[in-house]
Amino acid sequence: MQALGGVVAVRMFATEDGEHVSISGPAVLTFDGEIDLANL
């Protein structure tokens, strides 16, 4: 994923509470909306 200021790593992982998304990197990421991961 490319974002303002750098490259961001995105990782999805399952937990007891459901699936979570981890974002890491030196970038500033701003998002307003929804992503339907089942239909990507």
3-38 pLDDT, tens per residue? 566 677 888 889 888 888 888 877 666 778 888 878
Q: Evaluate whether residue 21 is within a structural domain.
A: yes
pTM for the whole thing? 0.39
Which structure tokens are listed for 26? 């030196």
Provide the strand spans (E) within 1-40.
2-3, 6-7, 9-15, 18-24
pLDDT score recorded for residue 5: 63
**CA 30 from centroid of its chain's CA atoms:** 11
**40 band by pLDDT with thresholds 50, 70 and 90:** confident
pLDDT score recorded for residue 29: 63
Which domain does 26 fall in, by range?
Answer: 2-33
Domain count, the chain: 1
Pairing mode, strands 9-15 and 6-7 = unpaired
Q: Evaluate whether residue 39 is within a structural domain.
A: no
Q: Evaluate whether residue 10 is within a structural domain.
A: yes
Which residue in this structure is represented by tokens 């995105």? 10
pLDDT score recorded for residue 32: 81
Q: Evaluate whether residue 19 is within a structural domain.
A: yes
Q: Evaluate whether residue 27 is within a structural domain.
A: yes
Q: Evaluate whether residue 38 is within a structural domain.
A: no
